[in-house]
Structure formats: structure tokens, C-alpha cells
Structure 1
């Protein structure tokens, strides 16, 4: 039988029977009718289950204050530093809350509150889905849902809790008046500064009763609900302040959109900063700084995991800090001996403005073993160890070199950048290859002519590193810096040549992370002060301090090798030790407002910063602090002395670095030239001898700005340096600064 005949026979059979042959196997379960039936059955089962749960779940008694507990901060040896979390709440009736405040909260959190059913189905579904997927992010929820969570449920992120929240919310919305729900929400929400409820928040931020809060202040309190600690103006980073301002504007704009605020009045409104917080009792001395650092770290982890800050604020947590009592005591003593004991505010006004911050990190664990935040938390709540408002200056230069090695960057002559690469160290030399004009000054306006990268690091030559940053690519340098631990959102961290001098903001904690990454052979190290976190005996995992390899090991070790030269032959000679190897870098910011030393032994990384903080938090010069000789406070002075005194007491473990370096990564620096031997021109090719000596005059205009940055073969042996002069030479007269175009970077003079 042919194919045509077979088809006709099959058609005849189908026609005769009036239907197709029955499907066999798994296909018989997936007809469209059965799929529809399955779908209807699933919907019916789901609805039935929901009805059953709705009947089963009761609205519990709201006893939040009975569940709130203290958080305990302690050391690993069992010493309790502090107990925090005493409930700070004073309930107020809704008629005591101005309409402007109520409108601000509703506009920010749930603009349809007065008309909705109490549940945001899409937001709740999204929250359940994210929980199932392990993302931990809470979906959008209404004021009623948040009130239910605050008053009746725990803060845990589980499917069970979310389903209960949904059912209880529906019941509460049916049984409780909207005004009562809003009052409950305002009285139970966490606003930061240990303030629960709108009345406590009004006191904490503006030192007034809620009935006296203005529209502008009410908008700020409403903005805080999204991220209390991040938006707290007194503790917020630059990025946090920008986000807080954006949220404040968002709240007011939503009020206008809802016709609760006159557009003309909105236009004239200005943000008013809240008052400084008052320190909790018992957190005087260094304890307050340690507790605040641990608290901030846990809150940040909770935000990222989706738990929310209120889960931590509710209490019951035991936070064990990684602080080593021996090292902590040694750090405090080093600051006292090297700085505090020399300050006399009665004799020198500037001495009252000196602030010291320091962070010390164990290389293997990435944990903070000592921290100095200031003389007394009860008197100065801003921690100098974690503040991000001062420039790290030349301590940023190793990041530029690390980025050059990691990106296999080349000089303007197309030669690979290594420790032996030659750069022009002429004072105020304009950088080449940048759209933004920049001609940085060197310390004391000194010109060095042709210098290696090693010597440029040793002497912290600004003009050389400004050119190197451009050679690498400013975007690549910033990417490396952020990967190593710096805050890419910090003030001043813009991709312009001035960033080569450390013109962005950073904290000792951040710089400790940067140098710890180098010490850890390129493994990303994020210092952590929390050793463990638990509640009810159950430990909660915190992010690892030592992370992935973000720099090639050879690149990181090459930087360490060069930084050893800064200690042995450069600006950080005061930290030299016969007991252990040291690598590090000094830094002094523009106008002498900050001074730094960040360095490490094979097992311990410590960053020390000194800051000039005048009245109202204004940055002021440190010049003359402690009656220092010469007036200027350099990174090789007080900060390095603190570092040396501290490290000399506590350093242990390995005494030599275990480095894997390139041949060009350990080039010894050329002999330090005398006042009359600094070269005025770069060698024209591969040098066979040391630079010739000559009169101490500045480079002529014909060659001072056109020295090639080529990469000659480094010398195989370190030449014997010439005998230094017996008198201090007069620095050469600087050439006339070049005229920059509009938008050019200013001629910063970050020293060391």
C-alpha cells in the first residue's frame, strides 16, 4: 500500500469513528482541557489553603516593647564593652502629630494608604519570591504591613513570616481604623539613633517635641525611615548625605503631587541639618568608637542581606569584637606618647584642633585588632578611624603603581611601567595626554629631573605620579582603588589628574584595607571589627574579610618591594626596624590639613591619620601642632612615629616578606643626588653611568617639560651614594607655572 492509500485509509477510519485515535503515554495527561483543569485545581487549592490559613491565623497581641532587648558588645576574652538598646520610645496620639509630618510619612512610604486594602500584592509576591531565591530583599510593603511587622511579628526574612504578615494585615485593615494604624506605625517605627517612634525621633534629631516639628524637618524624619543610619546626617558618608538629600526632596515632591503641599512653599524650602547626637551613657573613651564601628558594620551587612536595620535595633544580639586588648592598649599608649602628651591648647591654639585616627589589621584574618577613634567618644562622637572627609594624599600613590602593573600600562614612550621606568620629576611639569591641564607642585618646589619610579615613590614626587596616572588611565586607576577597598563615591574622587595626589576623601579604615590587600599578595581585604554575631546561641554569618584575588600576586608584591624602599631610603625612615621588614608610604595633604602613614610588616597592617578639625568641623591646617620643628606636620612625623611606637610593641610572626616579584620590581634606587647633582635632563637612551653632576639650577625651558619617560635597563648593582652636603641646600627656584585652560585641576601640593 502506497503512502497516499495509507493516508486515505486513515482518514476513512477517523471519519467512520468520528474522532482521532486515543493518545497514549504521557501525552494523554497534557491535553488543553486537562491543562485548564489542572490550572483551575491549583487556583482552587491555593484559595482553599489561603482561606484555611486566614481562619487559622489570629491577630496576636502587640507587645513589641516586651520583645525588645539589649545588644551586647564584648571582646573574645569575654570582657563586655557595652550594652545598648534600651527602649527609647514615647507614644503620642495622632492629634499631637502635625499634618505636615503625617503627610510626609504617607507620601514617602505609601501614598495610597488612605484608600488601599492594606496589602501590596505585587510587593508581597516580590518579597516572597526574593526570599525563595535567597536574595534577601524585602519587596515593597504598605504602611499597614509595616505596622503589622513592627507590632506583631519578628523581623526575620522567611516565607512563614511573610505569609503571616499578609494574613494579619488583611485582618487588621478590616478591624482597625486607618488613623489608628498610622498612629501605631508612627509610634513603632525605627528612625535611627536608638529612637523608636516619631516623638523619640523628633527629640533625637531636632531636640523638640513632634508637635513643634516643621514641614522641612518632618520630611527629613520621613526620609529616615528608608535607611536610618545611612541618612543620619551626623554619621553619613558623602554618598549617604547625597542620598538623604535626594530622599528629602522626593518626600516633599510627593507631597506636592498629592496636593498636600503648596508648590510655591515647596520651592522656597531649604534643608536644615539636624543636631549632633548625644553619646549613650557608658560609651566614653575608646569604647564608644569601637561599639559604633561594630554597629555600623552589622547594620551594613543587614541592609545588604535584606534583614533591615530594625532587626538589629530590636536587640537580643551578641556582637563579639576582634579587638586584641594588648594591641589596643599599645595603640592608645602610642598616640598618648607621640602626640597627645605634646599638645598644649593653652599655649598653641592649633593644638586644640589636632585629631588622630588609626586602624590596625591582622593580615591573615583581615580583622581589626586595634582602633583609635579620638581622645574620648563622650566629647567627640565623630570617629577619626572611620571618618571619610580628609584627603589620603600621597598614601594613594601605591594604588597608581599597582594599577599600572595590573593593567600592564606603558609610558608615553610605549615602555612598560616598572619600578625602573624613568619619569620627569620637574616641579610643575604639565602632564601629557590629558584633556584636563594639570601641573602639580613637588614638595618645596623641588625639581628632580629624570627619576625612576622607585625614587619617585621614595621622595613622593608629585609630577612623576601625575603623569603615571594619566599613562595608566584615570578610569583604570579608580577601578583599581575601589577594588582595593576605597570608596568610589567619596568626595573628590573624580577622574581628573588631581586624583593622582590623593585628592579624594578616605578614612584610616579604608586605607588599612588598601594596604592590607597589598600585604595579602593581592587578595581583596576588607577590614572587619566583628569577630562573630549571634542571637539566642545561633550564629549569623558575616561577610568574609579576606576575599578573592583582585591583583596579580606579582603586581602586589612588586608594590610591596617598592614600598620597602620608601622605608629604607625615603620619607618613612623613622619606621625602620632591625626586628622586622616594613613597607609603607607617607602622605601630607594640601595646606597641611591631614598627615598620614600607612604601612605594614609581614603580618600587621596599620594606617594612621592626623587631621586638623576646627570649630564646626571645618578643616584647618595642622601647621605648628605640638610646636613641631619647621611648623609643617608631615606624614613622616607624628603619624609615622605613632606607627613605629605601636608596631614596635606588638609586631610578631614573620619578620620578612614572602614576595614573588618581577626582576624589574626590585630595582634599587639610584644614588640620592646632592643639591648640585640633580639631573636637569633625562638620559637620551640607555644610561651606562650615573647622571653627571652640575650646578643646582632649574631646568631650562627647552628641556624642562619634554623629558622622555622611557624605560632604561636598570643598574645591576646599587652605586655608592655621594657624600651628602654638610649644609641644607637651597631649593631651586621653580619655573613659571604654566597657564591652564578652563576646567584645569588646581596646582595641588600634596607632600610626602
Structure 2
């Protein structure tokens, strides 16, 4: 009797034989493939040119810091990466990554031969492709940008790994890997991951409380397996970021336990230490606004100016921005975090921290503020708008293509009179010298007569000293008649030269046939040549300047007439080596102590400049009107200084329309619009800087030759009616085109590339005048 268990079914032998033949054939093919692969490996080892770690240029994010050199302002670059040398890392990540990804790392030859064979077999048998690799192979894959899990890729990966293991120590290779591998959330390398997920560092020289712990390192190293969610199924395959969803958290915990067990097996932890470890629940939430860390915050505008400034330095001139952004530099700016916070709190009028007078006003209201340190030119605070990718209302700069960007020129109105006054006291004109100051006055030499299209000059305000006012009284009352006469007396070239020397490097002129004012570089030609492009109205603030330039001018006067170039960068370093450092230079305006004291003495009497906090302060308001209205204003200003801080504030509209309050009032002036912002900022910024106001007191002038009698021009004939507001401006000396009169005009945009669409052109008309 046959044993049915040992007897094949009918036809069974015939079926087994073909299966055995097919298996033998597959083995032969695999052997041939492996032999061919060995040839490829051998050939590749000697002839294949592949990038090694020393050749590999890893994109490393550049970090922009506030002036303290510790507080980050922004991360730049395509990848968030901060390289830390292996010997400067603590042990937490080194041990966790080996336990997670390659437990034979310290003993293998850089290649997982079984993995290569599995990949070869899977390749020829049609099985699932294999992706397991050693840490060395994983680094090789990243270094050579090898994608996919094909057999040929595994062979090339093995070649590179073999070379790496021959050429470098295990410690070096592990350092390469930890500085290269992605961890998700845009973090590349262990240091960026530690900062992103825990706000910590892997540097062993950091305080212990700030160093990444083993438990935290295990969470990070778990993410290497799948740094990001699968785009095709983000909920079902979310990866290992515990903050992504419940499944991802469980994945992370499971992987964390696996790594913990591996650390015990490798001797990194004792069983008791492992049992005492707790899964950390301190992973930071996913920041949905993470992109705002560079250009979408107000400080993004600072970054724009930083990059523009560095493009002009020797290390970076003529090079693309990627060299800076991806170069792993450490850029320390001049911006003081305390001052910047005060600037944003006051000038961002959408915030609840803004002064009550400007808070919650219509959406077309916009403010800009720049603060500069006297004597150094360091920009301590800069607010040109609420995001770096938007319009810059405080200044302008060149982008990487050499195009001008910015939106920051505005007619300064009476705030420009500070430069007239400085030019006067430098020329020996005492602030107690008296001037005819009637409500209305003709100036034939400048074409401002009753018979001219522009008409005479009119004061926008009245003062008790009229019609015979000392220069200081006319300054406090902001009398246009007095300052127009002063500008004629000095000459427009002296006024422009004073502004230029103090820090105003650009001014915008009106050119016939062009609806936009054109920028004039005041440094390009001698003052007498530049002056030909502007009329006497320059003395009462007709021509646009930037908030940044105006702030630097105020810093010059705060420093006693010592002008420094305004700048944003203090230093650039890489790998602790200096690449570039600020060059602090000052030039002297020629203001002696008596002139400086008279300037301070006069401008500290402007009521809007009073801080009430123990600091000596000086300042000047300004207003520029538009249209035919005698009350509607487009631009308001407040500028001034203490001995330690100078700033300029502009408040206007984004669309060129008059400032109109939420309640419907057009009564918005320098004293009620920009001045509250300036006072709040100056008060809070000086308090935050913790400086002693007693060390920054103003001097008292001696007024030599007390109150000399001026030579007065004949008073104008009496009039029975004021000039009508329909008068049109007089021509500029440099052009036959109409020049807006001293009382203002609607906003026009500069030639700089604006971030907002161009505005409709409005013909300038006469109004009462700047305030």
C-alpha cells in the first residue's frame, strides 16, 4: 500500500520540475547581476567621480541678529541649517541617531552588504525594492543627490560610502550626517532641528538647561525615518512629528521606544536609566506662520536694507544673494531689540499699543518711524510698514537686480526748517535776530508776488510776536514768511548743503511732463548745481525726502554737528571669523558749540517735543497740505532728538488722499498726528535703553552780540483780501514746469519701484501752507 502522504498527486512531479528550473534560472541571473555589480563597484571605486564631504557645499542658513548678537531677527536661505562641528556636539544626538538608524555603525565598513544583496535580489525577482542603508550610505545618498531605491542607485551609494569609510573617521562621517539630514519643518541638520522643535541647542558649551537632552534627541531622531507627511495621504501617513496629528504622535512614541531599547543594547543607557526616561511632551507646536520669520514681519524691511548694504561691501559685491542667504553667515545688525519693539508698538497704528490719537483710524492711514544713534549712524529702530514683502514707507534701497525699491519719500513740510535754522546759526545768525513776519508777504526775487500765479507767501499760523518776530519765535510758531525770507537770505544752496551734510542724501524734484517726482542724489554734484533744480520753497519743506534720511539728519544735530552714515550692519562673521565689520566715520558740519546750543535751545521750546520724562529733548513738527482746502493735510511729521537717540516719524496716507479721522474730521496736523507717535516712542525707547538722562543735557547758549537789529525789507502794502486759493505754483528755477507752492500738494510717488499700484495724478494747487 502506498503512503498517501509521500505520494505526489497526479501530475505533481511535472509541476515541481518547472518551478525548480525557474528558481535555478533566477539564481543564475542574480549571481550574474551581482558579479556585474561587483564589476561596477570596482570600476566605480577607482573611476567614478563623486562628491566627497570636503567637496560638498551644503546650503547653510544665514542668521540675522539684533544688535545684542544673541537674539535672532531672521533666518535666511533655502534651507534652515546651522552646522555644528562634531566635537562641539553633546552626546545626546550622536547616540540616539546610531540607535535609530544604524546600530552597527561603529563596526561596519560603511556598507550594508546584506541590504545591497537584498536590493539586487528584489531587482531581479520583481520583489519590493529595498531601502535600508547604513548611516554612511544615507549620507552618501544625500551628498550625491541620489534619488529612488533602484539597484543601480544602491550600487553607486555603496561606492560613495566605501570611499567615505576609507577616507574619513567614523566621527567625521557621523558629524557630516547629523549636519545634513532633514528633520522636517524645514530644519536640516540636528542644530536647526533642536532649535525648531525644542528651542534648544546641541552645542556642548551651552548652559546645561539649553542643551538637547537624550529623550529630546530620541524624538528628533525618530523623525528622520519620515520627516514630512506623505502629500498623497497626510492624515494616513503623517510621519513622526508628534504635533501633526494623533497618529503621528503614536508613531513618534513607538519609534522613541525602539530607539530607547537600542540605546540600552548599545550600552548608551543602563536599563534603569532607560526606565526612568519619559517621553517629552515639550515639542513646540507647528508654527503656521513660520514663514513670517524673515520677510513678512516689520523687521523684514530691515533685512532688505541689510542685504542692500552688504551688496555694496567688498566681500559680497557683484555676487548673487544666494551667497549671503545660503552662506551660513552670522549677521549682527545695528537694530536694538528694545528700540525696535518701541518703534513697532508706536508706529504700527493697527495695534492696541499705538497712541490713542492714531489708533483704529481708517485703513489708508500709514506711519513710518526711523531711529538713529547720534554719533555712530546706527539705525536702532526701523518701521516702514507691517511686513517686509510690502511697501517700505520709511526709505528705499537697491535690490539684487539693481532696481530701486521703496516707497519712503514724503514732503517734510515745516519739519525741514530744522536745516534752515542750522544753516542760519552756522552763518552766525542768532536765533534772537528779528524778522518781519506779517501774515502775508511778497518775495519778488523768488517770483512770489501778488501778480504772480503762485502769489505771495502766507503763514499757516499766527503768533503773538507778529508782525516782528525773533527767529526762535518764528520757529516755534512755524511761520512760513520768516523761513522763506531766511531761505532767500541764506540761499537755497546753503540750505540744501546743510541738509545734505546732516544726512539727507536724496531729494525729489518736480519735472515737467512727469507725474512722479524724480530722485536727485544730493551728493552727485556741488551744492550750487544741485540747488538749481529746486526753488526757494525747499526751505519750507516742499520737496520729498525719506524718513530714514530725516532721522539721520536729526542724529547729526543730536551729536553736536558730527554726521555719521546711517547703516544697518555691525558685523558679518562665519565660523567665528570676521568677514566684514562696520566702518564708523564722522564728518563735522562746522557747527560750533554756540550754534549747537542755540539750535537745541530753540527746538526744545517746541511744545510737541516735550517728553516729560526727565530727558532734554528738541524737535519740530511738519504738515503738508494738498488740494484747495486750507485744512486738509496729506503728510504730518515729527522729528527730533535727545542726546542719546534721534528719530523721525511720518504719518500720512497710502493713497494720497487727505488724512481724515474715523469721526470725519480733517483736523490732523504734525502736533496731533505724528507727534503722539514720536513722543510715545522716544519715551519708551529711552526708558528701555536704561540710560541716564543726566548724562545727555543740552548746553545753554550765550547769545553773543545780544539781539542785533536786522536789516528789514519794506513791509508789503496793505491788502483788503487774502490771495485766492486758486493760484497755481511758480516755476522751478531748473524747469519751466509748474512747481507746487509752499503750501503743499497731493502725494506723488517717487521713481523708486513701489510695492503698491501707482496713484492717479492730481494737479498741484495752492493751499495755505506747510505747518
Structure 1 residue corresponding to 2:436, chosen from 408, 416, 424: 424
Q: Which runs of 5+ in 2 are unaligned?
A: 1-49, 81-289, 397-406, 511-519, 521-532, 627-632, 744-768
Is 2:443 aligned against 1:441?
Answer: no
Distance 1:436 1:282, change over 3 A: same
Q: 1-side partners of 2:300 and 2:381: how far apart?
A: 14
Q: Is the 8 A contact 1:338 1:642 kept in 2?
A: no
Q: 1-side partners of 2:58 and 2:373: how far apart?
A: 37
Distance 1:551 1:733, change over 3 A: farther
Distance 1:77 1:508, change over 3 A: same
- Cα shift at 1:61: 9.9
- Cα shift at 1:359: 1.4
Q: Is the 8 A contact 1:301 1:543 kept in 2?
A: no
Distance 1:83 1:608, change over 3 A: same
Is 2:716 aligned against 1:649?
Answer: no
Q: Is the 8 A contact 2:372 2:379 kept in 1?
A: yes
Aligned residues: 429
Query: Residue 483 of structure 2 aligns with which residue?
Result: 465
Distance 1:310 1:445, change over 3 A: farther
The within-5 A match list for 1:274-285 is 282-283=293-294, 284-285=296-297
Query: Residue 405 of structure 1 aligns with which residue?
Result: 425
- Cα shift at 1:483: 1.2
Distance 1:700 1:594, change over 3 A: same
Q: Is the 8 A contact 2:436 2:467 kept in 1?
A: yes
- Cα shift at 1:311: 5.3
The within-5 A match list for 1:627-706 is 627=663, 630-651=665-686, 652-655=691-694, 656-659=696-699, 661-663=701-703, 702=717
Distance 1:745 1:395, change over 3 A: same
Query: Residue 538 of structure 1 aligns with which residue?
Result: 577
Query: Residue 478 of structure 1 aligns with which residue?
Result: 496
Query: Deviations along 1:652-706, whole A, 9 cap, x unmatched?
Result: 32345343745159989xxxxxxxxxxxxx9999xxxxxxxxxxxxx995268xx
Query: Residue 620 of structure 2 aligns with which residue?
Result: 585
Structure 2 residue corresponding to 1:367, chosen from 369, 378, 383: 378
Q: 1-side partners of 2:562 and 2:509: how far apart?
A: 26
Q: 1-side partners of 2:492 and 2:676: how far apart?
A: 33
Q: 1-side partners of 2:359 and 2:339: how far apart?
A: 27
Q: Is the 8 A contact 2:410 2:635 kept in 1?
A: yes
Higher-Rg structure is 2
**2:556 match: secondary structure:** helix
Q: 2-side partners of 1:490 and 1:359: how far apart?
A: 19
Query: Deviations along 1:447-500, whole A, 9 cap, x unmatched?
Result: 942211101110111121112112111122212211111123544563211211
Distance 1:322 1:425, change over 3 A: same
- Cα shift at 1:597: 0.5
Q: Is the 8 A contact 1:445 1:733 kept in 2?
A: no
Distance 1:417 1:602, change over 3 A: same
Q: Is the 8 A contact 1:525 1:546 kept in 2?
A: yes
Distance 1:315 1:664, change over 3 A: farther
Query: Deviations along 1:160-197, whole A, 9 cap, x unmatched?
Result: xxxxxxxxxxxxxxxxxxxxxxxxxxxxxxxxxxxxxx
Q: 1-side partners of 2:484 and 2:315: how far apart?
A: 38
Query: Deviations along 1:717-748, whole A, 9 cap, x unmatched?
Result: xxxxxxxxxxxxxxx96356899876574433
Distance 1:370 1:66, change over 3 A: same
Is 2:659 aligned against 1:604?
Answer: no
Q: 2-side partners of 1:458 and 1:525: how far apart?
A: 28
Q: 2-side partners of 1:582 and 1:456: how far apart?
A: 19
Q: Is the 8 A contact 1:454 1:667 kept in 2?
A: no
Is 2:585 aligned against 1:565?
Answer: no
Distance 1:453 1:344, change over 3 A: closer
- Cα shift at 1:521: 0.4
Distance 1:740 1:526, change over 3 A: closer
Q: 2-side partners of 1:649 and 1:521: how far apart?
A: 24
Query: Residue 661 of structure 2 aligns with which residue?
Result: 625
Distance 1:740 1:84, change over 3 A: closer
Q: 1-side partners of 2:318 and 2:419: how far apart?
A: 33
Q: Is the 8 A contact 1:426 1:446 kept in 2?
A: no
Structure 2 residue corresponding to 1:83, chosen from 71, 75, 98: 75
The within-5 A match list for 1:151-300 is 282-283=293-294, 284-300=296-312
Is 2:567 aligned against 1:528?
Answer: yes
Query: Deviations along 1:627-662, whole A, 9 cap, x unmatched?
Result: 38x523211113211121222223232345343745
Q: 2-side partners of 1:328 and 1:370: how far apart?
A: 4
Distance 1:444 1:84, change over 3 A: same
Q: Is the 8 A contact 1:354 1:611 kept in 2?
A: yes
Is 2:364 aligned against 1:353?
Answer: yes
Q: 1-side partners of 2:582 and 2:318: how far apart?
A: 14
Distance 1:580 1:86, change over 3 A: same
Question: Which TM-score applies when normalising by structure 2?
Answer: 0.49
Q: Is the 8 A contact 2:730 2:741 kept in 1?
A: no
Moved more, 641-650 or 66-75: 66-75
Q: Is the 8 A contact 2:334 2:380 kept in 1?
A: yes
Query: Residue 498 of structure 1 aligns with which residue?
Result: 537
Distance 1:65 1:503, change over 3 A: farther
- Cα shift at 1:441: 3.0
**1:627 match: secondary structure:** coil
Is 2:770 aligned against 1:751?
Answer: yes
Distance 1:556 1:297, change over 3 A: farther
Q: 2-side partners of 1:613 and 1:400: how far apart?
A: 29
Q: Which runs of 5+ in 1 are unaligned?
A: 1-59, 89-278, 409-415, 669-681, 686-698, 705-731
Query: Residue 382 of structure 1 aligns with which residue?
Result: 392
Moved more, 535-544 or 323-332: 535-544
Distance 1:424 1:639, change over 3 A: same
Q: 1-side partners of 2:300 and 2:683: how far apart?
A: 26
- Cα shift at 1:506: 1.8
Query: Residue 71 of structure 1 aligns with which residue?
Result: 62
Q: 1-side partners of 2:620 and 2:356: how far apart?
A: 25
Query: Residue 185 of structure 1 aligns with which residue?
Result: none
Q: 1-side partners of 2:359 and 2:613: how far apart?
A: 34
Distance 1:733 1:653, change over 3 A: farther
Distance 1:280 1:381, change over 3 A: farther
**2:431 match: secondary structure:** coil
Q: Is the 8 A contact 1:322 1:369 kept in 2?
A: yes
Is 2:627 aligned against 1:556?
Answer: no
Distance 1:632 1:546, change over 3 A: farther
**2:410 match: secondary structure:** coil
Query: Residue 724 of structure 1 aligns with which residue?
Result: none
Q: Is the 8 A contact 2:614 2:693 kept in 1?
A: no
Q: Is the 8 A contact 1:338 1:638 kept in 2?
A: no
Structure 1 residue corresponding to 2:586, chosen from 547, 559, 562: 547
Structure 1 residue corresponding to 2:340, chosen from 323, 328, 340: 328
